[in-house]
Amino acid sequence: MPYDLKEIAAISGMPGLYRLVRPTRAGVIIEALNDKGTRSVAAAQNKVSLLQEISIYTQDYDQTVPLTEVFDRIHQQHGAELALNNKSNDQELVSFMEGIIPDYDRERVYLSDIKKLVQWYNIVGQRLEYQAPATEDEATEQADQQEAPAVPVAADTAPKKKAAKKVAEPAADEAMSTAGIIPAPEADTAPGNPEAAVAKPAKKAPAKKKGE
């Protein structure tokens, strides 16, 4: 995208634009997009509106223009600096908007929105670097490079020794499949198996009487 707006936000109750640094328990640390670049904390109750998620209404009720595209159109026509600001007269602001989005919705886009758009663009144009979109030739060249066939590598035809199959060992914190207990093999008691018969104890010989 021409202007990277992923981390740029407008915060309710706070003028200007801010770069989101990182979240905290109390809210989010922000950095002012101005000369000082001071950091502060936006409380959790403050409404944070990411510029990348904002769009402009058009006369087609279901169609909007993302702010990233609007900023790109402005840059193509006016460059990084505008000749007007949010304090310019109403006619200049309306003419500017008609030049950027000819079919913008006059009923849902208010003059205050146009002033805010101009103010935001002036801040972004001064603080962020504009990245020109890739031309058609560059895009085609990049696609060709991605689709280029890989250079074939000569196959190694030498016979390879089969590696011994390694049994995976359980991790230190992982129980073994038998839970550490190896069950004893069950005896085969199927009929017809001569080894299945249970050995009977031998009969004792009768005791001899005295005199015999």
What DSSP state is assigned to residue 60? S
| Pairing outcome for strands 8-11 and 48-50 | antiparallel
Q: pLDDT for 9-27, tens place per residue? A: 999 989 999 999 999 988 9
Query: Residue 39 pLDDT more than 70?
Result: yes
SS3 at position 113:
helix
Instruction: Please tell me the total count of domains within the chain.
Output: 1
Enter the pTM of the model: 0.62
In a domain, 133, yes or no: no
Q: Residue 20 is part of which domain span?
A: 8-127
In a domain, 204, yes or no: no
* CA–CA distance, 131 with 54 (Å, rounded to integer): 20
In a domain, 170, yes or no: no
Q: pLDDT for 169-196, tens place per residue? A: 433 333 233 333 333 334 444 444 444 4
